[in-house]
Amino acid sequence: MQSHNFRTGLLKKKDFHNKDLWKLVHSLTPAQASFFREACAQLLGVPPSKFWGNQKIWFDLPGTNREALIYLLEALNHAPHITSMKLSKHKKAGLALGSMAKSAARGAAKAGEYIAKGVKVASKIYDVAKKVSSGIEVAKDFGIIGSDSDLAQANDMFQMVSGMAGSGFRPEPQGLRRK
């Protein structure tokens, strides 16, 4: 979901440093603030919320002060400038937020690696599907497979969706409603 994309801005970086914390606090998106609130709540023992799809956070912060997490949870319920003011008064809460941001940035780097691997596998599958589609076309041309068979119709649909059919998928034009 786009509304849950918290890996933006500074959290997209592979290496997050404590010096980036001030800028992060002042540029928190609503999704990032929500993620950090969810992480605080889970670290305090609250079960994962339905808002985040009941997903458990992938990191643990051993030795983090419970009082600091409660303070951070409350501070993240405010606008960024208020959150910043509250964190400046409670150093341990700021350190907890920095630790969470580092873990989130590391997770973003790992997610990027998995996505890259997935794209490679998907492109290999697509290449194989194109070759199979070409083979079905040849079999259709030689009369081995009838043009009205289920296999030929599935192949036609694949070619239309993938753009191999020439003109591609073009739905009938709809009339525009003018105001």
Q: Given this model, what pLDDT does residue 177 score?
A: 61
- The stretch 92-108 carries a mean pLDDT of 71
Q: Tell me what the pLDDT averaged over the chain comes to.
A: 75
Q: Given this model, what pLDDT does residue 1 score?
A: 45
Please, which pLDDT band fits residue 12 given cuts at 50, 70 and 90?
A: low
Instruction: State yes or no: pLDDT of 110 exceeds 60.
Output: yes
Decide: 70 and 44 in contact? Cβ < 8 Å.
yes
For residue 98, the tally of other CB atoms under 10 A from its CB is 19
Greater confidence (91 vs 177) lies with 91
CB burial string 113-138: b at 16+ within 10 A, e below: eeeeeeeeeeeeeeeeeeeebeebbe
Q: Given this model, what pLDDT does residue 144 score?
A: 85
The SS3 of residue 121 is helix
- The stretch 78-89 carries a mean pLDDT of 81
Share of the chain above pLDDT 90, in %: 0
The Cα 51–Cα 129 span in angstroms is: 37
Instruction: State yes or no: pLDDT of 166 exceeds 60.
Output: no
| pTM of model > 0.75 | no
Domain boundaries, the chain: 2-111, 118-162
Greater confidence (128 vs 102) lies with 128
In tens, the pLDDT along 26-58 reads 777 888 888 888 888 888 888 988 877 777 877
